[in-house]
Amino acid sequence: MPVVCGSLVSERIIIHGSDLVHNEGRKLGNYMSVFLQCKNAADRKALLEKLQFNKKNSFGNNYDDQKLVEFTDAFDVRWILGV
């Protein structure tokens, strides 16, 4: 059972995370995920370019047409970006 688990909800963004044990660092069971409703595909593309630190999250050529795009950044935060 997590020691800390919570969500932060606003008009455009939802952040959810949990930590199984404090001072454990980035281990299995500790996670953070972010859902962000972008204004349009161009807004989402600009954010993806800013957040894409590692190249293992490469996208195909047609992700602009998708309603949701999910990827994990260099800090193991899972991002779900909607249009």
Domain ranges in the chain are 4-82
Separation of alpha carbons 46 and 60, rounded Å: 16
- Which residue from 81, 73, 75 is spatially nearest to 51, judged by alpha carbons? 73
Radius of gyration of the chain (CA): 14
The pLDDT score that the predictor gives to residue 76 is 78
Partners of 45 in the β-ladder: none
Separation of alpha carbons 82 and 73, rounded Å: 16
User: How confident is the prediction along the chain (83 residues), in pLDDT tens digits per residue?
Assistant: 557 788 889 888 899 888 776 565 556 667 788 999 999 989 988 888 887 755 555 555 567 788 888 888 877 788 888 88
The answer to whether 48 and 70 are in contact (CB under 8 A) is: no
The answer to whether 80 and 36 are in contact (CB under 8 A) is: yes
Query: What residues contact residue 37 under an 8 Å CB cut-off, 6+ apart?
Result: 12, 13, 82, 83
Query: Full-prediction pTM beyond 0.75?
Result: no
